Protein backbone atom coordinates (compact mmCIF):
# COMPACT_ATOMS: atom_id res chain seq x y z
CA UNK A 1 0.00 0.00 0.00
CA UNK A 2 1.30 3.47 -0.95
CA UNK A 3 2.00 5.64 2.08
CA UNK A 4 2.08 9.35 1.27
CA UNK A 5 4.01 11.60 3.62
CA UNK A 6 2.71 15.13 4.16
CA UNK A 7 1.54 17.56 6.79
CA UNK A 8 2.68 20.67 8.67
CA UNK A 9 2.52 20.28 12.45
CA UNK A 10 4.83 18.09 14.55
CA UNK A 11 8.21 16.89 13.33
CA UNK A 12 8.58 13.13 13.02
CA UNK A 13 10.89 10.65 11.34
CA UNK A 14 9.64 7.91 9.05
CA UNK A 15 11.48 4.92 7.65
CA UNK A 16 11.84 4.86 3.88
CA UNK A 17 10.49 1.57 2.65
CA UNK A 18 8.71 0.13 -0.38
CA UNK A 19 5.34 1.88 -0.06
CA UNK A 20 6.54 5.34 1.02
CA UNK A 21 5.93 8.31 -1.28
CA UNK A 22 7.94 11.32 -0.10
CA UNK A 23 6.75 14.88 -0.71
CA UNK A 24 7.09 16.19 -4.29
CA UNK A 25 5.15 18.06 -6.91
CA UNK A 26 3.55 15.41 -9.12
CA UNK A 27 2.07 16.40 -12.45
CA UNK A 28 0.23 14.15 -14.87
CA UNK A 29 1.58 14.90 -18.33
CA UNK A 30 1.05 13.94 -21.95
CA UNK A 31 3.75 13.63 -24.58
CA UNK A 32 3.00 13.99 -28.29
CA UNK A 33 5.27 12.05 -30.62
CA UNK A 34 6.39 13.21 -34.04
CA UNK A 35 4.28 10.44 -35.61
CA UNK A 36 1.16 11.66 -33.83
CA UNK A 37 0.72 9.47 -30.75
CA UNK A 38 -0.22 10.70 -27.27
CA UNK A 39 1.78 9.11 -24.46
CA UNK A 40 0.75 9.35 -20.80
CA UNK A 41 3.17 10.02 -17.98
CA UNK A 42 4.09 11.83 -14.78
CA UNK A 43 6.68 14.42 -13.87
CA UNK A 44 7.82 14.51 -10.24
CA UNK A 45 9.85 17.54 -9.10
CA UNK A 46 11.15 18.82 -5.74
CA UNK A 47 8.73 20.85 -3.66
CA UNK A 48 11.09 23.46 -2.26
CA UNK A 49 14.03 23.71 -4.69
CA UNK A 50 14.75 23.81 -8.39
CA UNK A 51 15.83 20.40 -9.71
CA UNK A 52 19.57 19.82 -9.91
CA UNK A 53 19.22 16.93 -12.38
CA UNK A 54 16.57 15.22 -14.47
CA UNK A 55 15.97 11.51 -14.98
CA UNK A 56 14.02 10.52 -18.08
CA UNK A 57 13.10 6.92 -17.32
CA UNK A 58 12.48 4.15 -19.86
CA UNK A 59 10.58 1.16 -18.53
CA UNK A 60 11.06 -2.60 -19.03
CA UNK A 61 9.48 -4.62 -21.84
CA UNK A 62 5.74 -3.88 -21.97
CA UNK A 63 4.93 -7.29 -23.44
CA UNK A 64 6.33 -8.79 -20.21
CA UNK A 65 4.66 -6.44 -17.74
CA UNK A 66 6.93 -3.40 -17.94
CA UNK A 67 5.37 0.06 -17.63
CA UNK A 68 5.99 3.47 -16.07
CA UNK A 69 5.09 2.09 -12.62
CA UNK A 70 7.68 -0.70 -12.69
CA UNK A 71 8.86 -0.57 -9.12
CA UNK A 72 12.38 0.85 -9.35
CA UNK A 73 11.19 3.70 -11.57
CA UNK A 74 8.21 4.39 -9.32
CA UNK A 75 10.42 4.39 -6.24
CA UNK A 76 12.88 6.74 -7.95
CA UNK A 77 9.98 9.16 -8.51
CA UNK A 78 8.70 8.61 -4.96
CA UNK A 79 12.05 9.31 -3.29
CA UNK A 80 14.59 11.23 -5.36
CA UNK A 81 12.80 14.59 -5.70
CA UNK A 82 12.67 14.86 -1.90
CA UNK A 83 16.03 13.29 -1.08
CA UNK A 84 18.36 14.73 -3.74
CA UNK A 85 16.33 17.34 -5.68
CA UNK A 86 16.08 15.29 -8.88
CA UNK A 87 13.21 15.66 -11.34
CA UNK A 88 11.92 12.27 -12.49
CA UNK A 89 9.90 11.80 -15.68
CA UNK A 90 8.09 8.49 -16.16
CA UNK A 91 5.87 7.62 -19.11
CA UNK A 92 4.32 4.68 -20.90
CA UNK A 93 5.85 3.98 -24.29
CA UNK A 94 3.46 3.45 -27.20
CA UNK A 95 0.77 0.87 -26.58
CA UNK A 96 1.69 0.49 -22.90
CA UNK A 97 -0.93 0.72 -20.14
CA UNK A 98 -0.68 1.44 -16.42
CA UNK A 99 -2.96 2.95 -13.75
CA UNK A 100 -2.05 6.37 -15.24
CA UNK A 101 -3.65 5.31 -18.53
CA UNK A 102 -2.75 3.80 -21.88
CA UNK A 103 -0.43 5.44 -24.39
CA UNK A 104 -1.59 5.51 -27.96
CA UNK A 105 0.02 3.41 -30.67
CA UNK A 106 1.34 -0.14 -30.62
CA UNK A 107 4.51 -1.76 -29.31
CA UNK A 108 7.09 -1.80 -32.11
CA UNK A 109 9.92 -3.83 -30.60
CA UNK A 110 12.13 -0.78 -30.07
CA UNK A 111 11.86 0.77 -33.54
CA UNK A 112 9.16 3.44 -33.53
CA UNK A 113 9.81 3.84 -29.80
CA UNK A 114 12.55 6.19 -31.03
CA UNK A 115 9.75 8.78 -31.39
CA UNK A 116 8.75 8.15 -27.77
CA UNK A 117 12.26 8.82 -26.47
CA UNK A 118 12.47 12.01 -28.50
CA UNK A 119 9.07 13.20 -27.25
CA UNK A 120 10.18 12.76 -23.64
CA UNK A 121 13.40 14.66 -24.25
CA UNK A 122 11.54 17.42 -26.09
CA UNK A 123 9.23 17.72 -23.08
CA UNK A 124 12.01 18.16 -20.51
CA UNK A 125 13.71 20.65 -22.83
CA UNK A 126 10.47 22.63 -23.04
CA UNK A 127 10.45 22.81 -19.23
CA UNK A 128 14.13 23.86 -19.13
CA UNK A 129 14.91 20.96 -16.82
CA UNK A 130 18.64 20.60 -16.18
CA UNK A 131 21.32 17.92 -16.35
CA UNK A 132 19.26 15.34 -18.26
CA UNK A 133 20.01 11.61 -18.08
CA UNK A 134 18.26 8.67 -19.71
CA UNK A 135 17.66 5.89 -17.18
CA UNK A 136 16.60 2.65 -18.83
CA UNK A 137 15.67 -0.64 -17.22
CA UNK A 138 15.93 -3.86 -19.26
CA UNK A 139 14.11 -3.09 -22.55
CA UNK A 140 14.47 0.58 -21.64
CA UNK A 141 18.26 0.22 -21.76
CA UNK A 142 18.00 -0.84 -25.40
CA UNK A 143 16.09 2.37 -26.18
CA UNK A 144 18.65 4.47 -24.30
CA UNK A 145 21.57 2.89 -26.16
CA UNK A 146 19.89 3.04 -29.58
CA UNK A 147 18.56 6.57 -29.40
CA UNK A 148 20.51 8.49 -26.74
CA UNK A 149 23.90 8.91 -28.36
CA UNK A 150 22.98 11.96 -30.45
CA UNK A 151 20.67 13.58 -27.88
CA UNK A 152 21.27 16.53 -25.57
CA UNK A 153 21.84 14.47 -22.43
CA UNK A 154 24.64 13.98 -19.90
CA UNK A 155 24.61 10.22 -20.20
CA UNK A 156 22.72 6.96 -19.91
CA UNK A 157 22.23 4.75 -16.86
CA UNK A 158 21.43 1.16 -17.78
CA UNK A 159 19.70 -1.07 -15.22
CA UNK A 160 19.90 -4.79 -16.01
CA UNK A 161 20.76 -4.32 -19.70
CA UNK A 162 20.07 -7.54 -21.67
CA UNK A 163 21.76 -6.22 -24.85
CA UNK A 164 19.34 -8.29 -26.92
CA UNK A 165 18.29 -5.58 -29.36
CA UNK A 166 21.42 -3.41 -29.28
CA UNK A 167 23.79 -4.12 -32.17
CA UNK A 168 27.57 -3.94 -32.05
CA UNK A 169 27.38 -0.88 -34.29
CA UNK A 170 24.99 0.80 -31.88
CA UNK A 171 27.35 0.15 -28.99
CA UNK A 172 30.33 1.42 -30.95
CA UNK A 173 28.47 4.62 -31.79
CA UNK A 174 29.15 5.64 -28.17
CA UNK A 175 32.94 5.36 -28.58
CA UNK A 176 34.46 8.80 -28.09
CA UNK A 177 31.17 10.32 -26.94
CA UNK A 178 31.44 12.78 -24.05
CA UNK A 179 28.24 11.27 -22.67
CA UNK A 180 28.68 8.85 -19.79
CA UNK A 181 27.58 5.24 -20.02
CA UNK A 182 26.91 3.55 -16.66
CA UNK A 183 25.70 -0.05 -16.67
CA UNK A 184 24.36 -1.35 -13.34
CA UNK A 185 24.41 -5.14 -13.40
CA UNK A 186 22.80 -7.50 -10.87
CA UNK A 187 25.05 -10.33 -9.74
CA UNK A 188 22.38 -12.91 -10.61
CA UNK A 189 20.84 -11.28 -13.67
CA UNK A 190 18.76 -13.54 -15.92
CA UNK A 191 20.34 -12.24 -19.12
CA UNK A 192 23.69 -10.51 -18.57
CA UNK A 193 25.76 -11.03 -15.42
CA UNK A 194 28.70 -8.80 -14.46
CA UNK A 195 31.60 -10.57 -16.15
CA UNK A 196 29.90 -10.99 -19.57
CA UNK A 197 28.68 -7.41 -19.20
CA UNK A 198 32.25 -6.17 -18.82
CA UNK A 199 33.17 -8.07 -21.98
CA UNK A 200 30.25 -6.65 -23.97
CA UNK A 201 30.69 -3.08 -22.75
CA UNK A 202 34.41 -3.21 -23.53
CA UNK A 203 33.23 -2.03 -26.96
CA UNK A 204 32.75 1.37 -25.25
CA UNK A 205 36.08 2.09 -23.53
CA UNK A 206 34.67 4.78 -21.24
CA UNK A 207 31.65 2.73 -20.14
CA UNK A 208 31.45 1.97 -16.41
CA UNK A 209 30.10 -1.39 -15.30
CA UNK A 210 28.86 -1.52 -11.70
CA UNK A 211 28.03 -4.94 -10.24
CA UNK A 212 25.48 -5.19 -7.42
CA UNK A 213 26.04 -8.18 -5.18
CA UNK A 214 23.06 -10.42 -4.50
CA UNK A 215 20.69 -8.60 -6.86
CA UNK A 216 18.57 -10.06 -9.64
CA UNK A 217 17.16 -8.67 -12.88
CA UNK A 218 14.00 -7.32 -11.24
CA UNK A 219 15.77 -5.70 -8.25
CA UNK A 220 13.22 -7.21 -5.85
CA UNK A 221 13.56 -6.25 -2.19
CA UNK A 222 14.49 -3.03 -0.43
CA UNK A 223 18.19 -3.93 -0.27
CA UNK A 224 18.41 -4.22 -4.05
CA UNK A 225 16.19 -1.19 -4.63
CA UNK A 226 18.28 1.05 -2.41
CA UNK A 227 21.51 -0.25 -3.95
CA UNK A 228 20.39 0.59 -7.48
CA UNK A 229 19.00 4.01 -6.48
CA UNK A 230 22.27 4.76 -4.67
CA UNK A 231 24.19 3.97 -7.87
CA UNK A 232 21.91 6.17 -9.97
CA UNK A 233 22.51 9.07 -7.59
CA UNK A 234 26.25 8.38 -7.50
CA UNK A 235 26.41 8.51 -11.31
CA UNK A 236 24.38 11.69 -11.67
CA UNK A 237 25.64 13.59 -8.63
CA UNK A 238 29.06 12.27 -7.56
CA UNK A 239 29.68 12.86 -3.87
CA UNK A 240 25.97 12.79 -3.00
CA UNK A 241 24.70 9.77 -1.13
CA UNK A 242 24.27 7.08 -0.14
CA UNK A 243 20.59 7.80 0.24
CA UNK A 244 19.21 8.01 3.79
CA UNK A 245 16.92 5.31 5.11
CA UNK A 246 14.67 7.76 6.99
CA UNK A 247 13.08 11.13 6.33
CA UNK A 248 11.91 13.90 8.66
CA UNK A 249 8.43 15.30 8.05
CA UNK A 250 5.90 17.51 9.77
CA UNK A 251 2.65 15.70 10.46
How do residues 142-168 score in pLDDT, each as one tens digit?
999 999 999 999 999 999 999 999 999
CATH class as words, domain 14-238+245-250? alpha beta
Considering the chain, what is the average pLDDT of its residues? 95
Give the C-alpha separation, 55 to 37, whole Å. 22
| Mean pLDDT for the stretch of residues 189-218 | 98
Look up residue 29 and give its DSSP letter. E
- 12 pLDDT band, cuts 50/70/90, is confident
Average pLDDT over residues 198-203: 97
Is 27 in contact with 43 (CB distance < 8 Å)? yes
Q: What is the average pLDDT across 119-143?
A: 98
Q: Is the pTM of this model over 0.85?
A: yes
Q: Name the pLDDT band for 45 (thresholds 50, 70, 90).
A: very high
Q: Which helix (H) or strand (E) holds 248?
A: strand 246-250
pLDDT reading at 7 higher than 80: no
Q: d(Cα 4, Cα 189) in Å, to the nearest integer?
A: 32
Q: Which runs of consecutive H residues, i.e. helices, occur in the chain?
A: 71-84, 113-126, 139-147, 168-172, 194-201, 222-236
Give the pLDDT mean for 79-105: 98
pLDDT at 5: 57
Which pLDDT score, from 0 to 100, does residue 47 have?
A: 96
Q: At residue 189, does pLDDT exceed 90?
A: yes
Position 241 confidence tier, pLDDT thresholds 50, 70, 90: confident
State residue 1's pLDDT score. 40
Say how many C-beta atoms besides its own lie within 10 A of residue 4's C-beta. Answer: 12
Amino acid sequence: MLEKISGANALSTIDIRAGVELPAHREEIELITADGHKLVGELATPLEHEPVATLVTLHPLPTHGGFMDSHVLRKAANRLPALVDFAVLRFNTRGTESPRGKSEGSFDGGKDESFDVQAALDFVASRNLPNVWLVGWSFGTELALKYGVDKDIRGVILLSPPLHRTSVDELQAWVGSPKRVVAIIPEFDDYLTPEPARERFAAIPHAQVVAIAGAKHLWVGETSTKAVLDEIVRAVAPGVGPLPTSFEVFD
